[in-house]
Amino acid sequence: GPVLAEIAGGSALDIGFAVAPELLDEPEYREIVDTHASLVVAENVMKWETTERVQGQWDFAGADTLAQYAREHGKKLYGHTLVWHSQLPDWVAALDAPAMQAAMEEHIRTQVEHFKGQVFAWDVVNEAIDDDGTRRAGSPFQATLGDGYIEDAFRTAHEADPDAQLCYNDYDLEAIGPKSDAVYAMVSDLVARDVPIDCVGFQGHLTGGKLGDDLQENLQRFVDLGLTVRFTEVDVRIPTPPNDADLAQQAEDFGTVVSTCLAVEGCLGVTFWGVTDRYSWVPQWFPGYGAALLWDEDYATKPAFDAVVEAV
Ligand code: XIL
């Protein structure tokens, strides 16, 4: 059958999957990543709560397993994520400003240096803006360090690996509106002041049938700043159990994401947030919804897979 990484390679589009390294031992899962991915990203094992659960004690075991897999199979390795309010151990939030600033910089330096030469791009800051376009007040970094933590994070990452691409990553950026406008304003300001930022990640956690018609225009305005963009965490949730109409709508949405990325010079790839509906994070986080990926719970391809094949 059609191989996503191969057909997308013709248009130099990265095809990524979020991977849980332990699932690579499951033959059906492994086979799909082996075959269809040109890029892998850790679904969880590069997050702060895993890599530095206790201050100064590093655990790169899971991440190293994924890095080794990527090396041995010729996949690009994307880094997710360095500074995020979620999946963050409690000790960080308890620090005062000078200690938190030092801990943040040390976390970034240690993790970026560990994967230097292999992670080609990092989500340096994840989800810093709230839905209404204000800074996320609930982030310990925002609350304790203020707005400046974002540029400090990018500068620290750049010093640790000047060759890595450095990205800001967030969800619900697809439509032009308060949130994407705020991210646009923020990254415009960073670019204008020569803060080392290269890219913006559009997570793309979508609900079936909700994409507007301004996605391309929205991507393009970020590219016009001199940045690259990519879809970093795409899934399309639909009510479960899924019916044929919802599966068809979902297929259309996946196709739109891929074809829109292809239509924008500077949109470098599409990463799916998982392989199979069997292990998707969606049902747990959005009760009543699921079936959000290209392969179903039994590893059969869905209409969404065919739509992606058509689109690339
Ligand atoms: C999710 C993972 O898929 C889950 O396994 C975990 O329990 C919670 O995080 N935005 C992000 C990702 O940037 O890291 C999140 O991943 C999904 C939302």
pTM for this entry: 0.98
Mean pLDDT to the nearest integer, 67-87: 98
**Is 303 inside any structural domain?**
no
pLDDT of 9? 78
Residue range(s) defining the domain that contains residue 223: 4-235+262-275
pLDDT category at 270 given cuts 50, 70, 90 is very high
Q: Count the domains in the chain.
A: 1
List Cα–Cα distances, 42 to 24, 45, 267, 280, in angstroms: 12, 6, 21, 13
**Is 20 inside any structural domain?**
yes
Candidate from 281, 282, 289 with most ligand 1 atoms within 8 A of CB, to mutate: 281
Closest C-alpha to ligand 1, atom 4: 281
Pairing of the two strands 76-83 and 39-42:
parallel
CA of 282 to the centre of ligand 1 (A): 9
Ligand 1 neighbourhood includes 235 CB (under 6 angstroms): no
| Nearest atom, ligand 1, residue 281 CA | 3
Ligand 1 neighbourhood includes 232 CB (under 6 angstroms): no
Handedness of CA 229, 262, 121, 51 (dihedral sign): positive
CA of 192 to the centre of ligand 1 (A): 31
pLDDT of 172? 98
| Number of CB atoms found within 10 A of residue 63's CB | 24
CA of 273 to the centre of ligand 1 (A): 8
**Is 289 inside any structural domain?**
no
**Is 126 inside any structural domain?**
yes
The CATH number of the domain where 52 resides is what? 3.20.20.80
CA of 295 to the centre of ligand 1 (A): 19
H/E stretch holding 234: strand 228-239
Ligand 1 neighbourhood includes 281 CB (under 6 angstroms): yes
Q: Retrieve residue 255's tokens.
A: 């196709």
Predicted ipTM beyond 0.90: yes
pLDDT of 10? 78
Ligand 1 neighbourhood includes 280 CB (under 6 angstroms): no
Residue 59 φ then ψ, to 5°: -130, 100
Closest C-alpha to ligand 1, atom 12: 43
pLDDT of 286? 98
**Is 204 inside any structural domain?**
yes
Q: Retrieve residue 67's tokens.
A: 């890095």
**Is 293 inside any structural domain?**
no
**Is 299 inside any structural domain?**
no
**Is 251 inside any structural domain?**
no
What is the rounded average pLDDT for all residues in the chain?
98
Q: Is 233 known to be catalytic?
A: yes
Cα–Cα dist 163/179, whole Å: 29
Cα–Cα dist 152/105, whole Å: 8
244 pLDDT higher than 80? yes
Tell me, what DSSP letter sits at residue 164?
A: S
Bond from prior residue into 2 cis (ω within 30 degrees of 0): no
H/E stretch holding 271: strand 267-272
CA of 72 to the centre of ligand 1 (A): 26
Indicate which residue of 52, 105, 127, 151 is catalytic. Answer: 127
